Structure 1
């Protein structure tokens, strides 16, 4: 699942990723990235992986 939400100043992406663990196995995680923009530049990025 992937979802991208946006308004004038904030873009939020929610989805799942697969990451390689130690030992070579793969694990699935959920993520949420929140980008905040002001004056055409990125002001802040918050990223969460669960």
Structure 2
């Protein structure tokens, strides 16, 4: 599978998230997906991600992908996402998702999410 195919798969998975179709997103994931939000923790397996999405994405997240860079079995997405800050108020965060694919599915994620100052 070529890198452009991986980008297309991630775009399809992201489209599902935007409309609240968590199962549509999970259809693009391996059963043993490893989802790490750096500094927060790691989810292991599709069921763990499903359970997390039920609360974290109870309302579909609003996010914008600004760049997608693909090479080999990796795709890096850079963008912004709206989420609640530490005080529970809506805020914009910058993110970088580093995805690894296996057999055409999302297998590993290292997500870096920060709230820019100023």
Gaps of 5+ in 1: none
Gaps of 5+ in 2: 1-64
What is the distance in 2 between the residues matched to 1:30 and 1:5? 16
Aligned residues: CA RMSD: 1.9
1:26 CA drift (Å): 1.4
Structure with the largest fraction of helix: 2
TM-score by length of 1: 0.72
Structure 1 residue ranges, 4+ long, deviating more than 4 angstroms after superposition: none
What is the distance in 1 between the residues matched to 2:104 and 2:79? 25
Query: Across the two proteins, how many residue pairs are aligned to each other?
Result: 48
